Amino acid sequence: MKRREFLQSGLALTGGLLTAAPRHALAASTAEAPAEFPAGFLWGSATAAYQVEGAAREDGRGESVWDRFSHTPGKTKNGDTGDVACDTYHRYREDVALMKKMNMKTCRFSIAWPRIQPVGTGAVNMKGVDYYKRFIDELHQAGIRPFPTLYHWDLPQPLEDAGGWPNRDTAGRFEDYVDLVMQHLGDRAGQWAIFNEPKTFTGVGYWAGRHAPGKTDPLNFVKATHTVNLAQGMAFRVIKSHQPNAQVGGAFDVSMMMPATESEADRAAAERWTKFQNLWFLYPPLRGHYPEGVLQADRQNELLGFKDGDEKIMRAPLDFVGLNYYSRFTVSDAPEGNGVPGLNTKALWADGPHEKTDLGWDIWPEGFYEILKVMTKETGGLPIEITESGCAYNTGPDDQGRVHDKKRIAYLDAICASCRAPSRTACRCAPITAGA
């Protein structure tokens, strides 16, 4: 089946939910929406520039860490790259037309840093700016909310060569990049996400090594988390300086952390992992400090590269919190350590007794409701928008080119049901966006 035929089937996207304050109340996306969905109901899509744009060497775009990583033999399945991807750079009008036909009302997409600043510093690349102007204008004309993400993992390779996110100077380079974006595109969108999944691009990129840039240094990884938190606060202020009324937040991937056993040690380990995975990039902007009891206390500032005044730089009164939900962790105590001083955990992603996706991820719809409760409490009642949720299956087209996507439909039904059970009528949830 051709890409657009698959999308046209209306089954290529997953779904998400919103807990909204009144200022986030949005018009219903379809007259056919079930009565159970509140007025804030929206369906939409979420993508990353490197996943969809292609045109990797066109119109002045520079090399990113994902270009370098995907072109390194053995790093991706079948040696696949994003050189062409979905070719959205050339075919964005077709994509937006498909979104409109599917009655989507919101589109989260990312702006590629190397398309705006090819080497991560210096002057703006106006051909890159012009592409995003055309794309955003097309969304507006289709009645679809543009929801840009400023960073979805595509660090310009020259900045990685200079030390990447573990290098504190990268926060300043990111601030400059955000300033350029806001100068040229700031008036075209009312809601901005600063980072997508900071714990993933730091942890999987600099600690586990499975994502770009493919590093496996736990101490540099810890420094990277602090640089990102500094950059988050700096970017927030830049955005507000250009557009004071903009709604600014981020997309944070969160999971329920389940102790492997009922032992006190495993329960404590699950609590440490919760703080490190779910709260490490939220406490600094909202509270000005890191969660306690995660890193070795007498070495925390050294490990982070923390300097006097950093607590003020990190602070950012976010307008909303975006959450990405997929699965769960099973966590056990690891007295032998895991490379991060003081953390002492062993965590298995998506390990559990439930049905699995084709990636082996645990399907646990009830966890969606549980994590909403946890994060609502931790974020002080800020509006929460589910910026991604879904399940990965390798279901392909049949002989007639049709995708019978029953498993994803069942997943969405179960997610929605987890929040509208009779005992949960106080939960103000409404589906809104999708992770593609």
- Per-residue pLDDT of 122-139, as tens digits, reads 999 999 999 999 999 999
Question: Averaged over 96-113, what is the pLDDT?
Answer: 96
Distance CA 227, CA 159 (A): 13
Res 22: pLDDT: 27
Q: What are phi and psi of 377, to 5 degrees?
A: -65, -45
For 43-65, write each residue's pLDDT tens digit.
Answer: 899 999 999 999 999 999 999 99
Distance CA 117, CA 294 (A): 36
- Is 0.85 surpassed by the pTM of this model? yes
User: Which residues are marked as active site?
Assistant: 197, 388
More confident residue, 374 or 37: 374
- Candidates 239, 276, 271; CA nearest to 257 is 271
Distance CA 15, CA 42 (A): 10
Distance CA 238, CA 106 (A): 24
Cβ count within 10 A of residue 347: 22
Question: Averaged over 291-316, what is the pLDDT?
Answer: 98
Give the lowest-confidence range in 2-11, 259-268, 289-298, 357-366: 2-11
Tell me the torsion sign for CA atoms 204, 206, 210, 213: positive
Token couple for 92: 């964005």
DSSP 29: S
Res 351: pLDDT: 67
| Structural domains of the chain in order of their starting residue, each with its CATH number | 3-431 (3.20.20.80)
Q: What is the CA radius of gyration of the chain?
A: 21
Distance CA 44, CA 108 (A): 8
